[in-house]
Chain A
Amino acid sequence: MSQSTVDVSAKGGFSFDLCKRNEMLTQEGLKAPSFLKTGTTIVGLIFKDGVILGADTRATEGPIVADKNCEKIHYMAPNIYCCGAGTAADTEAVTDMVSSQLRLHRYETGRDSRVITALTLLKKHLFSYQGHVSAALVLGGVDITGPHLHTLYPNGLTETLPFATMGSGSLAAMSVFEAKYKEGLTRDEGIKLVAEAICSGIFNDLGSGSNVDICVITKGNKEYLRNYMEPNPRTYVSSKGYSFTKKTEVLLTKITPLLERVEITEVGEAMEE
């Protein structure tokens, strides 16, 4: 068996062995594949009865919109959801992984998951990869200890906040929050403010766009409002419809069998043991 050319370090984590070779290739002229980023606006806020998370739905690959209606609010546990900004694959993979870990933990302990459990699992993973897992997350949920809202940075830093924004549209959304957030908002006021903040990101940031997703989590209950607002509808639809008429004419139909079916009934010797 040939020895593998890349050694995976015994403790896990990234192996940086191929970096020199990659650099040499880029110098020779090879273009590295670009990532699917989520150039995003994600927000969260704590209101009277729990947590409201919001996100836009545009996924970009450089200057192109790769997905017009992607889902950025990821399920972690029945009472915990997580919005993700940064590289789409990283946010998806890391939230999926921690969601599975949480479920196993629930089976083990027999209790509902707590938000700080998700927080600690995520931050341990992100820190160990030293920022190379490009996931910036807004984690929110309601557990036995109350409502919680956290932000996580790709390098592993976490914050605990009453209102938070992340992604390229975070400044536009934060300006709305800083101007209008109050404590003790009702459910409707909270949803309205989150939708306003996401819309601010959608219309003022080029990396965010399309629709608004909202998730409301309260004690014992959650509401995932997918496409709560669609402020960018397709406005022009041709009145004549879009029928593409067939212009092909069938001239001849002929079916030619390719090979005759041959049955092989050979009696051979049994295999050698």
Chain B
Amino acid sequence: MTTLTVPIDNGDSVKIAEEESQRTLYPYVTGTSIVAIKYKDGVLMASDMGGSYGSTLRYKNIERVKAIGKHSLLGASGEISDFQEILRYLDELTLNDNMWDDGNSLGPKEIHNYLTRVMYNRRNKFNPLWNTLVLGGVKNGKSYLGMVSMIGVSFEDDHVATGFGNHLARPILRDEWHADLSFEDGVKLLEKCMRVLLYRDRSAINKLQIAKITEEGVTVSQPYSLKTFWEFSSFHNPTAGAEGSW
């Protein structure tokens, strides 16, 4: 049926008892990479809108970047249903925080810490939320960008990427990111990374959204697509001189 990622059990508990069948063994509907950078006024986060069901591109309108409260942006790759569950948890969290009515609101650092605790505790119970989360935000003029993985690895950096983005986008960001990028330069840099991902990640689609968070608030762009280039002369008849090659 579906060809999926490696299951968490290494054959140690092959026989799954009735009570244990609730554990997450493998993801079903997955989102691919997220790429995010800090820039002059805050944080920029890019993701495509695809949800893959194994090797089929089942859903093409999934928003994988959502605003959390007034100060944060959460992007997720991995299992979509677990992402929706996390959004519910955060909803509860922000609602309860609002009820204190003390003029304080949860900032990105607090949300990141909460998510780290949730992910790590789930992993300890062998029932992980199968996501890699990217948390970006601005509070009191300070921008924040961090990441939590499904096993609870959590850290903060100037630029982060999940999944394939780690291998394809991170090298570009390490080379070309610098502090105080303007909005246009930031978007250009993200688009450069997303284009490489589009060429080389099989689960990427050409429909992406870029979300921006500044002190003023969150803006999520309308979905749009990138221009790609396929007109290399050697692509027209690649094996003209080499029969039997690809």
Decide if A120 is an interface residue (CB 8 Å cutoff). yes
Task: Knowing A171-B167, A200-B171, A204-B170, say if A179 contacts B192 (CB, 8 Å).
Answer: yes
CB within 8 A of B245: which of A160, A175, A176, A183?
Answer: A160
Residues in chain A near residue B246, CB distance under 8 A: 157-160
A163 to B235, CA, bound (A): 11
B35 to chain A, nearest CB (A): 12
Residues in chain B near residue A161, CB distance under 8 A: 234, 238
**Within residues 133 to 181 of chain B, which ones have a CB less than 8 A from any CB in chain A?**
164, 167-172, 174-175
Residues in chain A near residue B7, CB distance under 8 A: none
**Cβ B200 vs Cβ A171 within 8 A:** yes
Decide if A131 is an interface residue (CB 8 Å cutoff). no
Task: Knowing A174-B200, A179-B196, A203-B174, say if A148 contacts B242 (CB, 8 Å).
Answer: yes
**Cβ B234 vs Cβ A145 within 8 A:** no
Decide if B103 is an interface residue (CB 8 Å cutoff). no
Residue from A172, A175, A204 whose CB has the most chain B CB atoms within 10 Å: A175
**Cβ B168 vs Cβ A175 within 8 A:** yes
B198 to chain A, nearest CB (A): 9
Decide if B241 is an interface residue (CB 8 Å cutoff). yes
**Cβ B233 vs Cβ A178 within 8 A:** no
Decide if B232 is an interface residue (CB 8 Å cutoff). yes
**Cβ A200 vs Cβ B175 within 8 A:** yes
A119 to B243, CA, bound (A): 11
Closest to B238 in A: A160
Closest to A143 in B: B241
Decide if A53 is an interface residue (CB 8 Å cutoff). no
Closest to A196 in B: B175
A246 to chain B, nearest CB (A): 48
B14 to chain A, nearest CB (A): 20
**Cβ A175 vs Cβ B172 within 8 A:** yes
A143 to B163, CA, bound (A): 41
B113 to chain A, nearest CB (A): 29
**Within residues 118 to 152 of chain A, which ones have a CB less than 8 A from any CB in chain B?**
119-120, 123, 145-146, 148, 150
**Cβ A162 vs Cβ B234 within 8 A:** yes
Decide if A116 is an interface residue (CB 8 Å cutoff). yes
**Within residues 205 to 239 of chain B, which ones have a CB less than 8 A from any CB in chain A?**
232-235, 238-239
* Majority secondary structure, B binding face: helix
**Cβ A146 vs Cβ B241 within 8 A:** yes
Decide if B59 is an interface residue (CB 8 Å cutoff). no
A119 to B245, CA, bound (A): 9
Closest to A120 in B: B244
CB within 8 A of B196: which of A115, A123, A162, A175?
Answer: A175
A178 to B196, CA, bound (A): 6
**Cβ B242 vs Cβ A150 within 8 A:** yes
Closest to A46 in B: B234
**Cβ A175 vs Cβ B171 within 8 A:** yes
Closest to A200 in B: B171
**Cβ A150 vs Cβ B168 within 8 A:** no
Chain A, residues 171-213, CB within 8 Å of chain B (1/0): the string is 1101110110001000000000000000010011000000000
B44 to chain A, nearest CB (A): 18
**Cβ A174 vs Cβ B168 within 8 A:** yes
Closest to A173 in B: B171
A144 to chain B, nearest CB (A): 11
A115 to B242, CA, bound (A): 9
**Cβ A162 vs Cβ B172 within 8 A:** no
Chain A, residues 98-127, CB within 8 Å of chain B (1/0): the string is 000000000000000001100110010000
Task: Knowing A162-B234, A172-B167, A179-B192, say if A150 contacts B245 (CB, 8 Å).
Answer: yes
Residues in chain A near residue B200, CB distance under 8 A: 171, 174-175, 178
Decide if B199 is an interface residue (CB 8 Å cutoff). yes
Residues in chain B near residue A160, CB distance under 8 A: 234, 238-239, 241-242, 245-246
A172 to B200, CA, bound (A): 11
Residues in chain B near residue A123, CB distance under 8 A: 244
Q: Which residues of A contact B (CB under 8 A)?
A: 46, 115-116, 119-120, 123, 145-146, 148, 150, 157-162, 171-172, 174-176, 178-179, 183, 200, 203-204
Q: Which residues of B contact A (CB under 8 A)?
A: 164, 167-172, 174-175, 192-193, 195-196, 199-200, 232-235, 238-239, 241-242, 244-246
